[in-house]
Every structure is written in C-alpha cells, then in structure tokens.
Amino acid sequence: AQSVTQLDSHVSVSEGTPVLLRCNYSSSYSPSLFWYVQHPNKGLQLLLKYTSAATLVKGINGFEAEFKKSETSFHLTKPSAHMSDAAEYFCVVSYSRGGATNKLIFGTGTLLAVQP
Amino acid sequence: GAVVSQHPSWVICKSGTSVKIECRSLDFQATTMFWYRQFPKQSLMLMATSNEGSKATYEQGVEKDKFLINHASLTLSTLTVTSAHPEDSSFYICSAKLLVAGVYNEQFFGPGTRLTVL
C-alpha cells in the first residue's frame, strides 16, 4: 500500500532561517512524489514534483526536495524563510499500476509558521 | 495555463436540501477529474474519480447515492451532495488531470468550495 507520513504537524521558523519539512513515504512501486502548498482559503499549488528523474528537485519560490530511496524520504527545504511562506504544506505520493488512473495520496500536512 | 475553477466558492444550505458544485478546467481538456474532501485541520481525502462519459469510481466508504458525480464534458464535472446533513459540512476540492500524450499527467486543483449545512 502507498502512504505518506509527514513527521511534523507544525513547524515554526524565524524569517531568514532555513526551512525543513519532513516527509517519508511507503510505496510498493516506483512512486511519484509531490509537495503542494495551501494558503488560507486558496487552492493547492504545486511546489515541485519527483518523477524518477533527478533526485534533487528544484521547485518554485526557492524550495527544493531530495528523493532518497534508501531512507524513503522526500524532505522539503528552503535556505531562507520568507513571511509569505507561512502556509500548510502537503507531501503527496502518486502511483499508477496496470494503467490505472494515478491517485494522489496526501500526507496529513505541516503547518509552517514564520516569525518576524 | 492549466486553471481549474469551482463554483460556488462557498455555500450555506439547510439540512435535507441538495447542493451542486461545479468544477471546470478553463484552458485545457481533462480526461479525468477528482473530488476530494478536506475536514478542518485535516488532509485531503479522495472521494471519487470522474472520467468523462463514464460512471465515477468512488473510494471505499463514500456513498455514491449521496455524492452524485456527473462528468458530461472534458471541461466540466459536477458533484451534487444530496439530502445534505451537518456532517457533510466540509471543504470540497476538485482537481483535473491534464491530458498530454506521453507526459506525466499532472493534476491541477480548484480553489475549493466550502459547504456549511445548517
């Protein structure tokens, strides 16, 4: 079965300091992995995705994530937090098998707070 | 490009009434649309997968007679919550899968519809 575990429900950082949001996955197949961001009362926005190409994935707004198969992890990082980064972040795994439609399985989310 | 809209953005209804939510892909054709539900402070849970011109596939535990899905065209899917009750109050989000031959089909999400049932 496919699943995603986000290890922290809340993360608080100071503006200008690094961000680390942790995600571990479980998948019997070659997964595709994503990070989405959700600002209050807004739709989900794709930050970045891994689909079996380069293991270090760069996304929008300075975010990046590294796929580590040996650790089954896909942690999201950013060198320097900005106030506008405060939002809910979801780690997502997708898989397809036998031509079945890709399904997205969402983690429980990490709420990132950025302190001035 | 790849914009998905939902209408309405919020709705309040009385218990026992039905509510229809529309999901549209504005600038692309979507082979498949998905409906999710998100309870406060929780993650998104897939309710059903909707393919144009065929019956929707519902996830385990989701009542197909209560949550009616119609996918009449490649740009429109509707979710009707029939005989709504307060426990159906939630944030409903749709996504549409971009049809691009030979390329991973990314899902694009709508802004969501907040349903409150009194």
Residue whose token pair is 């079965």 = A1
pLDDT of residue B23: 95
Chain A residues with CB-CB distance to B98 below 8 A? none
Separation in Å, CA of B65 to nearest CA in chain A:
22
User: What is residue B100's predicted lDDT score, i.e. its pLDDT?
Assistant: 62
What stretches of B26-112 adopt beta strand conformation (E)?
A: 30-38, 44-51, 57-58, 67-73, 76-81, 90-98, 107-109
So what's the pLDDT on residue B102?
A: 52
pLDDT in tens, B73-114: 889 999 999 999 999 999 999 999 876 655 556 788 999 999
- Side-by-side strand order, sheet with B19-25: B4-7, B19-25, B76-81, B67-73
Contact at CB, B43 and A101, closer than 8 angstroms: no
Dist. CA A57–CA A50, nearest whole Å: 6
Residue-level pLDDT at B95: 93
State the Cα–Cα distance between residues B69 and A32, nearest whole angstrom.
Answer: 27
For residue B6, give Cα distances in angstroms to A113, B16, B26, B61, B89: 28, 23, 10, 24, 17
For residue A107, list chain B residues with Cβ-Cβ distance below 8 A: 43
For residue A34 the two structure tokens come to 């994503």
Mutate one of B31, B93, B99, B107 to test the A interface: name it (highest A CB count within 10 A).
B107
CA distances from B93 to A81, B66, B110 (A): 28, 17, 6
Residue A71 has a pLDDT of: 92
Run of H or E including A32: strand A32-38
Over residues B36-63, mean pLDDT? 89
What residue ranges of chain A have pLDDT lower than 50?
99
Place of tokens 């399985």: A105
List CB contacts (< 8 A) between A51 and chain B: 104
Mean pLDDT along residues B59-76: 92
Answer whether A43 sits within 8 Å of B106, measured CB to CB. Answer: no
In the prediction, which pLDDT does B101 show?
56
B99 contacts in A (CB within 8 Å)?
none
Q: Which pLDDT tens digit goes with each residue over A74-101? A: 999 999 999 999 999 999 998 665 545 5
On average, the pLDDT of chain B sits at: 89
**Would you give the DSSP letter of residue B80?**
E
The Cα of A78 is separated from the nearest Cα of chain B by a number of Å equal to: 23
- Whether the pLDDT of residue B118 is over 90: the answer is yes
Report CB contact under 8 Å: B34, A104. Answer: yes
